[in-house]
Chain A
Amino acid sequence: MADDRDHDHDHDHANPLHNHPPLQPDDESPPGRHEVMTEAMRELLVEKGVLSADDIRAALENIDSWAPSKGAQIVARAWTDDAFRKRLLADGNAALAEFGIDSGGAKVTVVENTDRVHNVIVCTLCSCYPRAVLGLPPDWYRSKNYRRRVVVEPRAVLEEFGLRVPDDRAVRVHDSLADLRYLVLPRRPEGTDGWTEEQLAGIVTRDCMVGVAEPRPE
């Protein structure tokens, strides 16, 4: 039961949507227009019964489940299980589902790096990205300079990231869409014979699966 006698502050108890403890008491910067807009949308959508508080909680929880470690597990399995690798390349969504990963409706196409081809992904129109297996896209992936440049001078862009692709290896750039996302299957590096799947997954980073880096056995 709410009992006003216990309260000597003016926290807004009239609004059931604001009965949470402060989320970021340490952030005292003035709120930006779109931060405020986000909170306003949340309140209006809940009040009007479009979304429940639990719908929003579940969606936030789902975002926290997205991580490059998921993609790394898939890559390590593909390196150690050739039948899985073939399934992954044939149908990304179905192979991800084997790991219990819902890729969210968009088609996922996995592109394989070899001695002859290096793949890199971009979304020139916005920032489409296989979030379920890589998390939210990093700032540079969303940046205009990456979107502008990687499709016309991919080798120069990769060199900026410290990756020199040999001249005799083709570089293929894959431009994602809202309905089609790409994931790079990196080459398994030398010096990893006999490694467990877990060890292998440990060297597969987000950037390797975007194609701006390669796994290193360290």
Chain B
Amino acid sequence: MAASNDPGRGYHDIGGEPGGGPIDPHVTQAKPWEKLSVAIGNALGKGGKKVIVTDETRRSREEMGEDLYNELGYFEKGVEATSRLLIEKGLFTREELEARMAAIEQRIREQGR
């Protein structure tokens, strides 16, 4: 019955989806990098530099693809979505990001966090 231009249901739109199991009530504390990821998003957003808006990061989250969406954790999804959006906006390139990541990974391995 759906119209031909019906976009369908997004992979993020899971309210009411059947097959849900028990809810794990265990609560963990956010790690330093997880808090940093939220801080960067806030500093770029409405209460900060206004470089990004919430709906853009939401759209980025909803466009990363179902496999990645289901594979990544909560904070990881946020970082993935924000980095994709910032590359799209030209604030840095994918190559710059990957090169810096390689350098940081090596630094953490050698010098710790």
Q: Which residues of A contact B (CB under 8 A)?
A: 11-12, 18, 22-25, 27-28, 30-45, 48, 50-51, 55-56, 58-60, 62-63, 102, 104-106, 122, 124-127, 136, 138-140, 142-149, 151-152, 157, 160-161, 175, 178-179
Q: Is B23 an interface residue (CB 8 A)?
A: yes
User: In the complex, which residue of chain A has the Cβ closest to the Cβ of B81?
Assistant: A126
Task: List chain B residues, Cβ under 8 A from A41.
Answer: 40, 79, 82-83, 86, 92, 97
User: In the complex, which residue of chain A has the Cβ closest to the Cβ of B37?
Assistant: A38
Give the number of A-B contacts (CB < 8 Å): 183
User: In the complex, which residue of chain A has the Cβ closest to the Cβ of B75?
Assistant: A34
Interface centre among A40, A63, A127, A151 (most CB of B within 10 A): A40
Task: List chain A residues, Cβ under 8 A from B74.
Answer: 127, 139, 142
Q: Which of B22-47 contact A (CB under 8 A)?
A: 22-28, 30-33, 35-40, 42-44, 46-47
CB distance from B27 to the nearest CB of A (A): 4
Q: Is B105 an interface residue (CB 8 A)?
A: yes
Q: A36-B104, A50-B44 are in contact. Are A125 and B76 (CB under 8 A)?
A: no
Q: Is B8 an interface residue (CB 8 A)?
A: no
The answer for the CA separation of A37 and B78 in the assembled complex, in Å, is: 11
Q: Is B91 an interface residue (CB 8 A)?
A: yes
